Chains A and B, each alone.
Chain A
């Protein structure tokens, strides 16, 4: 695995790369980084060129000072693809990363050959109104005694299997890196006008979700209805952290879809 930076219109974007062959980009959820795909990368890299960036504002990428949006995150991905000189890619995105992948596919139909929307919410007027009144997912006010770290840890604890504190630690590490803008990734998702953009997706698409992901599982039918020909897959016994909690199952489903040309 090699790490590197590419230049984008919003600053430097940090990414990890492995393998050779047809390129596939892996886009992470809020508040993670490329590290979410740490154990998926070597599996997909057996047959492909795998590129996993830190979304602008996250991980080790530059932090744009302007307000964050799905469109801004997509700018970063489009510029990364350009900087790498790629003319056709597959895009895999999980949660926030899925929404970003969808926007890139809508904007650059000639560039994106295949799209995997993992745990991706369908964002329309209903959802925007509903989420507007909900408390933040990762937001904790900085306290003088450091107790906000414990708060953050406990807010995310129930997302993870009890026997995987290592995964929780990796998420918290990424959240701490994002700092006081950690909630902005979630807000960007919930401000996105997906209903105006999703019909522009021309790539063949897989909609995949963990069967324990109560946030995004109910949205599968709406995504399938909005993208003609999209296929569906449900991952077994995983929730929101499907990518890192069961990398073998996740990679197998992605690999099967990407290699089934047609």
Chain B
């Protein structure tokens, strides 16, 4: 399946996206500090019978950044702007880590545009998390000898499978492309999730990467907080790690397909 990249002209500036396949639109939203490249494998899986669209969220990859600090709300507004520019009335929205938080906000912001929601490795953001005052991952102070580049690699390496330096290379490309690879983590940490998540109506699939120590403890809290969703299903991805989308794309695609095929309210999200 041919993947085409392009820019959509939106009121939020130029937004960069990739697209392949035809059928029901699936919009994919990446983790910090990644880009649409995170979904290269999943797009290939889904595009055989879907219109697979991955975007660089505003301020990431090649997309324009919104004025001011990034927020989950401004990232969600960027996703709406892309759907508008591409003339997509509604889509299945898939998000991983930061992208999951954005997808959840999108489902509250424009419920009619989100036919179903797939939240992968979504962290819970409540008062305790917002109060946490730490240095986020991907932080490195620039050094004269280039040591800061190695620092980002080393912070991420424990969470990447051995023998796949190519995946870390792809992360590094994205981390270097943007001025501050920690900004997305801060946007997550500022989000008022507990005030928004109950308003999600769309049928929701929660994907849990079993070997992701950051997000997997959130699963129970997230599931309980989705009080308004038409359906909430949980799927555990064995051997799932932080680079879940690259390493377990076939399992993720199969879980998404099964969810879309078996969710009764899926064909009529307005109900």
Contacts and interface: CB of A to CB of B under 8 A. Distances in A.
Given A153-B145, A176-B176, A5 B150 contact: no
Nearest to B142: A165
A173 B177 contact: yes
A40 interface: no
Interface string B170-193: 001100110000000000000000
Contact of B150 (A2, A149, A165, A169): A149
A145 B169 contact: no
B7 interface: yes
Contacts of A152: 146
A177 B14 CA distance: 21
A172 B146 contact: yes
Given A12-B4, A60-B62, A173-B177, A146 B157 contact: yes
B147 interface: yes
Contacts of B149: 146, 149-150, 153, 172
Contacts of A177: 173, 177
A177 B62 CA distance: 13
A5 B145 contact: no
Contacts, number: 69
Given A3-B7, A5-B5, A176-B173, A144 B150 contact: no
A142 B145 CA distance: 18
Nearest to B144: A165
A173 B179 CA distance: 11
B159 interface: no
A145 B5 contact: no
B153 A146 contact: yes
A4 interface: yes
Contacts of A60: 5, 62
A149 B153 contact: yes
A169 B16 CA distance: 23
A169 B14 CA distance: 24
A147 B14 CA distance: 35
B144 to A, nearest CB: 7
Given A153-B145, A154-B145, A173 B176 contact: yes
A145 B150 contact: yes
Interface string A38-72: 00000000000000000000001000000000000
A247 interface: no
Contacts of B152: 146
A149 B146 contact: yes
A179 interface: yes
Interface in A133-151: 142-147, 149-150
B176 A147 contact: no
A172 B176 contact: yes
A144 B165 CA distance: 7
A90 B63 CA distance: 29
A169 B149 CA distance: 10
B213 interface: no
Contact of A145 (B153, B173, B177): B153
Interface of B: 4-7, 14, 16, 62, 142, 144-147, 149-150, 152-154, 157, 165, 168-169, 172-173, 176-177
For the complex of A and B, the 5 pairs showing the least CB-CB separation, nearest first, are A153-B146, A146-B153, A149-B149, A173-B176, A150-B146
Interface of A: 2-5, 12, 14, 60, 142-147, 149-150, 152-154, 157, 165, 169, 172-173, 176-177, 179
Given A157-B146, A172-B176, 7 more contacts: A5-B4, A5-B5, A145-B153, A149-B153, A165-B142, A172-B146, A176-B172
